[in-house]
């Protein structure tokens, strides 16, 4: 649901004249002054799911998030793009331009819809420009978590990539990861986050807030394996 080009940069990249950007997000609009917002308010400026006075796809030019994330140390920049099947033609061109400047791509699939025709068309275009892919199949909590079902989804995806004449030759160095962003989020943050798995704060406090439970959620998310491989690629 990304509706604005979103850039993640390390706090070390902030210019000396903007110390107030540290651990904040800078929202650049097309026809109004730039805003500095808290990370927790990013949903208002980055996703088409937000319904408010701002039309993100039309009004927001870009968002730059500053943090001390270990994934953007040493000048590494991570860019989240809206993809190619967006109704905004400008976003499609921005995505194409970003592909030309990128060294690797994390390509996100939804577990229940992995491998749509539009996905492979986009991948074929991208594979001509980028040498390294990480294929992430997200939302595995909706198909029973890490197990036989998610393994079948991954194998089906690998098979489709192998059959593709453009993508097949890249298969030996690509990697596939079943993950759940929701479970990782719930496992890592001690505060209640409204979501479809735990519908109330009371349920969260009863079933999930104890540290051992949160550790199990994070383990079940599959995120540790993906992050370790991504860090190894970025810095080793």
Task: Count how many Cα atoms sit within 13 Å of the Cα of residue 217 in the half-sphere of its side chain.
Answer: 21
Mean pLDDT of 224-230: 95
Residues 135 and 109: beta-carbon distance below 8 Å: yes
Mean pLDDT of 140-162: 88
Beta bridge partners of 8: 65, 78
pLDDT confidence bin for 234, thresholds 50/70/90: very high
In sequence order, which residues have a C-beta less than 8 Å from that of residue 213 and are 6 or more positions away? 207
Give the largest CA-CA distance in the chain. Answer: 53
Interval 41-88: pLDDT, tens: 998 999 887 777 888 888 998 999 999 999 999 999 999 988 766 666
For the chain, the average pLDDT equals 86
Interval 156-182: pLDDT, tens: 888 888 888 888 877 777 789 999 998
pLDDT confidence bin for 116, thresholds 50/70/90: confident
State pTM to two decimals: 0.84
Mean pLDDT of 192-216: 75
Strongest mean pLDDT among 22-26, 94-98, 183-187: 22-26
Instruction: Give 71: exposed, middle or buried? Use CB within 10 Å, 0-12, 13-18, 19+.
Output: middle
Mean pLDDT of 123-148: 88
Instruction: Give the CA distances from residue 105 to residues 64, 128, 193, 203, 236, in Å, rounded to whole numbers and listed in that order.
Output: 18, 12, 28, 37, 17
Q: What angle do CA 72, 92, 70 make, to 5 degrees?
A: 10
């Amino acid at each position: 649901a990304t509706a604005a080009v979103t850039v993640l940069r390390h706090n070390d990249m902030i210019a000396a004249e903007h110390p107030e950007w540290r651990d904040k997000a800078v929202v650049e609009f097309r026809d109004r002054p730039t805003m500095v917002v808290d990370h927790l308010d990013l949903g208002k400026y980055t996703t088409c799911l937000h319904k408010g006075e701002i039309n993100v796809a039309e009004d927001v030019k870009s968002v730059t998030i500053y943090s001390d994330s270990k994934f953007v140390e040493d000048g590494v920049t991570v860019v989240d793009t809206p993809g190619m099947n967006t109704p905004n033609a400008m976003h499609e061109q921005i995505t194409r331009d970003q592909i030309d400047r990128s060294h690797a791509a994390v390509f996100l699939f939804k577990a229940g819809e992995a491998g749509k025709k539009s996905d492979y068309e986009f991948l074929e275009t991208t594979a001509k420009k980028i040498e390294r892919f990480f294929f992430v199949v997200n939302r595995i909590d909706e198909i029973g978590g890490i197990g036989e079902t998610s393994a079948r989804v991954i194998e089906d995806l690998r098979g489709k990539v192998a059959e593709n004449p453009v993508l097949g030759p890249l298969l030996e160095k690509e990697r596939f990861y079943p993950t759940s962003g929701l479970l990782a989020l719930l496992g890592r943050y001690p505060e209640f986050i409204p979501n479809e798995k735990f519908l109330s704060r009371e349920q969260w406090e009863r079933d999930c807030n104890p540290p051992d439970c949160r550790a199990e959620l994070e383990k079940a998310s599959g995120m540790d394996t993906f992050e370790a491989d991504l860090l190894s690629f970025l810095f080793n």
